[in-house]
Amino acid sequence: MKISQRVAGVEYAIRDIALEARKLQKQGKEITYLNIGDPLQYGFQPPENVKEALTRAVKEGQNYYAVSEGLSELREEIAKKEKRKGLAVTDDDVLVTNGVSEALEMITASIVEPGDEVLIPGPYYPPYASYVRLFGGIPIEFSVDLHNSTPDLDDIRKKISSRTVAICLISPNNPTGAVFSEKSLKDLVDIANEHDLYIICDEIYDQIVFDEKFVGIGKVSGDSPIVLLNGFSKVHLMSGWRIGYISFNQSKKLEALRENVPKLARVRIATNLPVQYAALESLKGPQNYIPKFVSDLKKRRDYTIKRLNGMNGLSCSNPKGAFYAFPKIENNRYGSDKEFVLGLLKSKGILTVHGSGFGTQYGSGHFRMVFLPDIPVLESALDKIEEFIG
Ligand SMILES: Cc1ncc(COP(=O)(O)O)c(C=O)c1O
């Protein structure tokens, strides 16, 4: 039977590669999963007050279709959070979604037409390219210097064409951990303004930074058209509950988008209502689990990066945020990065993700691993990676 060309091109390396691991697991091989950016699969849990808010909502009968834009108390609390970060928003500017993933799909659907180009940081989180392609557009990667977390402005300028509609920023970044400085963000906003581009900024890791203060896009955006994407999967430890949001700033250039994106929200009815109550509690309740989470991650990051850089044949820049290491494979006797990852999986049972899954231009020749497990698990996995490299 017929299948659309659009859907045939969709890829998600992080989960696609796990199919290989599951096959081996079925044959009895023990696998250490270092492929997926989900803290909840490595022992972290949402705080008790947040779990209780979810079950309370269910028990108290909040089990019906929610309003499409999201619970008004939650939108207010989200607006307060984003305002503290510097973005000029009110509750009317917020749309609650089933994760950043759905938010990204809605925004891409609303701005990309066949042949349009969208600039994305290379290497990129795969859905940015997949959704652009799904709607007939062309993702164009721009270069980022990973040693000092700086976007290459000349490269961006060269890659802007008459078909470019938007520039996407992800800070802190997946898979590289790069965190853009205030100056870099300002430079990017200026370029976007010169060319009348939307700025789509994903700040899902906004509170997971290790070395420097995080700066949100709102701080430098003024009245440029900003579409901010954020969610509860990472900092708020609610990945499985699927909740996120879009915040528009007050830019006049967003008028059409603000009118049209809510139509997509209405077509898909609503997001999960009990989870919206949990998200509300997660923003209003105590925040003291976050520094502990970040400090655990920092120790794991320091350990992982030191070990990787101590291995012959690997080099890894220091991720400034999020929870991913993205080492470069210096002399890959396995051929491609995917063969390296499959070799490591088959011989040592360690599942990572091939760098080319994050874009061939800047991702090839690398692999991505999470540093979410505790140090004994990381130590054993890194020992095996070291043995594999030999
Ligand atoms: C940059 C980035 N954006 C979005 C997501 C997915 O977010 P959500 O769980 O809210 O759909 C991820 C998950 O890894 C991510 O790394």
Determine the distance separating the centroid of ligand 1 and the alpha carbon of 239, expressed in angstroms. Answer: 9
The pLDDT of residue 16 is 78
- Of ligand 1's listed atoms, the one at least distance from the Cα of 38 is 14
Candidate from 234, 239, 326, 353 with most ligand 1 atoms within 8 A of CB, to mutate:
234
pLDDT score recorded for residue 2: 86
100, 180, 203, best to mutate for ligand 1 pocket (most atoms within 8 Å of CB):
100
Structure confidence by residue, pLDDT tens digits, 301-351 = 999 999 999 999 999 999 999 999 999 999 777 889 999 999 999 999 999
Which numbered atom of ligand 1 lies nearest the CA of 104? 4
Whole-number average pLDDT of the chain: 95
CA 241: distance to chain centroid?
Answer: 16
Gap from CA of 127 to ligand 1 centroid (Å) = 9
226 close to 218: Cβ distance less than 8 angstroms: yes
Q: How far is CA 230 from CA 65, 94, 179, 193, 215, in A?
A: 22, 11, 15, 22, 14
CB 198 within 8 A of CB 169: no
Tell me the CA end-to-end span of the chain in Å, nearest whole number: 48
pLDDT band at 298 (very low <50, low <70, confident <90, very high): very high
pLDDT-based confidence at 8, cuts 50/70/90? Answer: confident
Nearest CA to 271 among 39, 57, 2, 52? 57
Pocket of ligand 1 (CB under 6 A): 37, 99-101, 125, 170, 174, 202, 204, 231, 233, 239, 244
Between 13 and 330, name the one with better pLDDT.
Answer: 330
pLDDT at residue 11 is higher than 80: no
Instruction: Convert the pLDDT of each residue in 167-200 to its tens digit.
Output: 999 999 999 999 999 999 999 999 999 999 999 9
What CATH number matches the domain at 5-45+289-389, 3.40.50.920, 1.20.1260.60, 3.30.43.10, 3.90.1150.10? 3.90.1150.10
Cα gap 129→138, rounded to integer Å = 8
Tens-place pLDDT, residues 35-87: 999 999 999 999 999 999 999 999 999 999 999 999 999 999 999 999 999 99
Cβ pair 275, 238 in contact under 8 A: yes
Q: Determine the Cα–Cα distance for residues 214 and 343; give it in Å rounded to an integer.
A: 37
Instruction: Judge whether 244 and 102 are in contact, CB under 8 Å.
Output: yes
Report d(CA 252, CA 262) in Å as an integer. Answer: 17
Confidence label for 381 from pLDDT (cuts 50, 70 and 90): very high
Whether the per-residue pLDDT at 262 is higher than 80: the answer is yes
What span, in angstroms and rounded, lies between the C-alpha atoms of 86 and 369? 32
* The two structure tokens encoding residue 133: 């392609």
Nearest residue (by CA) to ligand 1, atom 1, is 174
Could you tell me which residues come within 8 angstroms of residue 118 by beta carbon, excluding any fewer than 6 positions away?
108, 112, 128, 132, 137, 138, 139, 140, 164, 165, 166, 167, 168
Q: Which atom of ligand 1 is nearest to the CA of 102?
A: 11
**C-alpha R_g of the chain:** 21
Q: pLDDT at residue 130 above 90?
A: yes
Pocket mutation for ligand 1, best pick of 96, 101, 130 (most atoms within 8 Å of C-beta)? 101
* pLDDT bucket at 7, cuts 50 / 70 / 90: confident
Q: Per-residue pLDDT for 359 more than 80?
A: yes
The pLDDT assigned to 10 comes to 78
Distance CA 122, CA 115 (A): 20
How far is residue 219's CA from residue 182's CA, in Å, rounded to a whole number?
8
Query: Would you give the DSSP letter of residue 64?
Result: S
Q: What is the mean pLDDT of residues 133-144?
A: 96
CATH class of domain segment(s) 48-284: alpha beta
Give the containing element (helix H, strand E) for 351: strand 350-351
User: For 144, phi and psi rounded to 5 degrees?
Assistant: -130, 130
DSSP characters for 162-225?
Answer: TTEEEEEEESS-TTT-----HHHHHHHHHHHHHTT-EEEEE-TTTT-BSSS----THHHHTTS-
Strand pairing report for 350-351 and 32-33: parallel
Question: Which of 247, 167, 237 lies closest to 205, judged by CA?
Answer: 237
What are the residue boundaries of the structural domains of the chain, listed by start? 5-45+289-389, 48-284
